Structure 1
Amino acid sequence: MSLVPPSTQSEALQEVSTLELAQVLAERLAIAPQDWHRLKANRKAQASQQIAAALVFLLKDQPQEAIARLQQATGWLDRSISAPPCPTHGKR
């Protein structure tokens, strides 16, 4: 629960750029390395992470990167892709 009145929150958000908001969202939805094993097969978490990244790339005028992330998100949602192997347990 926030102690800041809603009107003050709204005013504060008006001072933040759309790109900055998207970057904060992408940071929040990014799967941290310590959470990778727990969330590697969580399709909602994986797709959310990719969609937020796509938004950041779109706002940075990088449509090809945005498309790639959206395709990844779609793959998670339609179950056409699965989690890659653990990055710390790869080939040596």
Structure 2
Amino acid sequence: MPDTTPIRSLTSEALSNPKTSPLSDLSTLELVQALAERLAIAPNDWHRLKSNRNARAREQAAIALVYLLKENPEEALPRLQQAVGWLDRSISAPPCPTHGR
């Protein structure tokens, strides 16, 4: 799981004084894009996290927020549905296509 300490520190600072926070210079879209980048599963972590339901749901929900802020709800909806699917266990990770050959 990624270290979220810096985000927590920035968030606490932003909540205590939003006008002087380093986050106040960023747009909502930039903040959500940074969150989506932080929550994206890196290629070197893929095998370890591909079935981690919370990690996959967070990744999909953050991507959905990016699409919503870009006024693209038709792209956000399937990602939100995937996030829900990971959480309610209605979907699971497919097998890795490079294994078993």
**TM-score normalised to structure 1 length:** 0.85
Q: Aligned partner of 1:86: which letter?
A: C
Q: 1:45 is matched with which residue?
A: 55
- Give structure 1 stretches of 5+ with no counterpart: none
Q: Aligned partner of 1:41: which letter?
A: S
Q: 1:68 is matched with which residue?
A: 78
Q: 2:23 is matched with which residue?
A: 13
Q: 2:67 is matched with which residue?
A: 57
- Give structure 2 stretches of 5+ with no counterpart: none
- Percent sequence identity is 62
Q: Distance in 2 between matches of 1:10 and 1:91?
A: 54
Equivalent pairs counted in the alignment come to 90
The structure 2 residue matched to 1:85, chosen from 70, 74, 95, is 95
Higher relative contact order (CA closer than 8 Å, sequence separation 6+): 1
**TM-score normalised to structure 2 length:** 0.77
